[in-house]
Structure 1
Amino acid sequence: MIVTRFAPSPNGSLHLGHAYSAIVSHDLARDAGGRFLLRIEDIDGARSRPELADEFRADLEWLGLEWEEVPAQSTRLASYERAAARLVEMGLLYPCTCTRAEIEALEPRMGPQGFIYPGTCKGRNWDPDKPAAMRLDVMAAMEKAGSLVWEDAITGEQSADPREFGDVVLVRKDAPASYHLAATLDDAADGVTLVTRGMDLFHATHIHRLLQALLDLPVPRWHHHDLLLDTDGQKLAKRRSSPSLADRRISGEDGKELAEMLRMGQMPGGISLSRYPHGVT
């Protein structure tokens, strides 16, 4: 049975990009007679606002979607701790006390999601009284895992190569797990068989496939859909105050009609759908 999920973080209201992602995930499960899950990813420290979870549910209902809700991330902290401890035992995690400013000052090369960490703290003695993130030694992890592949429903089979991310953070200084670790563990725990998300996370799947191999987790398929862009060609985002679904709902707009427009590719207000970027085939 196909199992998909929509996993928003309650650090801001949902916008049309979230609506599109939820609809894609919902419809893929519905059309296959499967299950569509809602998971609230609420471990983003002080930025998480519990009241937004109810807003999200109201938004999804307004769009005409039906879902099963699974436990929020805040109930799963023990599983993140166990996974991190296992990776430490395998010699694959190391503490990093570098700040973002310190990393940028080294003028490292750029990767798909920002500066690539140059491994400054690898092999250093660590002061346990100083806050530290835990980073994955990607090269050592790849040697242990060997050759890996994963499949995207749109672009086909991919060879996992997480080196372009460098040694990613798996346990943050300010949170019990990074997106990479938490989402990978949660999808496995929830029995997700088709991970649907925007193409901006396409490259992150290389890291997630590596974690699945290291932690003996089941391997789903992925479906990376196009993104909604604003009139400036930028991805819709909470940090740019993209118009919220809640505002549209409260104003009396018809959510089910909006959902049908998104399904048909009819984007409102000058919004457009992107295509896969260069290097994703």
Structure 2
Amino acid sequence: MDPLVVVRGKQGGDHMGGMRAAGRVFISYAHDDERHIAQVGQFHEFLVGRGVAADLDVPASERRQDWALWMLRGIRDSRHVIVVASPEYKRRAEGDARPGEGLGVQWEARLLRNLVYADAEAALERIVPVVLPGRSAGELPLWLSPYTDTVVSVDKFTEDGADELLGLLGLLKGRPKPAAPRVSPAAAFVMPDRKELVGALLDVPALHRSGTRHELLEVMGQSLGLPRRFEVPESDDARTHLRALDSRIRRTTHLADAACTAMYVALDEIVPDDTGVEKVRALLVRCGLVLPEK
């Protein structure tokens, strides 16, 4: 099981009354390798050094635990959930782990996806994606919208290097320095004109086949952390079906930018190196969407 760190505010419980009371924070990370484990350990020590009382999974493991319940309570009772970026976290949290591999991350990710699915706006405030030195936002699971939502970078384990996170947790001394507003590049994104988007999708030959469109919806659902495919009314006619997809994206409970990102990533996975897919990408980028590098 991947280790977890549970960090409790110095006054205990979920108290958030003062700027020095961090509340309860649940930190989830994967066991990529010894170097990453050590780095997360240093991150934990840094938080402890900032006056946060911390419980590691190590003391908890000294007696038998119902680990699934332990993780559930940690996430349920936390004020913030910190997700630490790494390749293995992304792979396991996106459902690509082999059976029996990284069960801790897989279980946590399932719980967190449920929070995102139930209330994306509330999850945006509660779940804090963190990138430690040497890591990147691309190592976060796609359902956390790492290219369109704010990601907190910790450049060094110092007050200056982690000021955004410390401000978010209310741990800055003296005058409180709040975290940067959770405004992302997505603020500049505007949904493409309906006719343009449907036209670009129709330029992908594979999408004229109903089987490919159904696969697209399945992969979109997985990318967004949904328990099922991205639901769109059925139609044998490609244009009608893609118009329905456009309408569904515009009214989705997920942000439209996240749905468009999932759509493009799914297309690129299903029909890579397709000129039509490149047209879709160009259209979305022109409308302000930040997409992963090819």
Query: TM-score range with shorter-chain normalisation?
Result: under 0.3
TM-score using structure 1 length: 0.25
TM-score, with structure 2 as normaliser = 0.25
Q: Which structure's relative contact order is higher, taking Cα pairs within 8 Å and 6+ residues apart? A: 1
Structure richer in strand, relative to its length: 1
- Greater helix share, structure number: 2
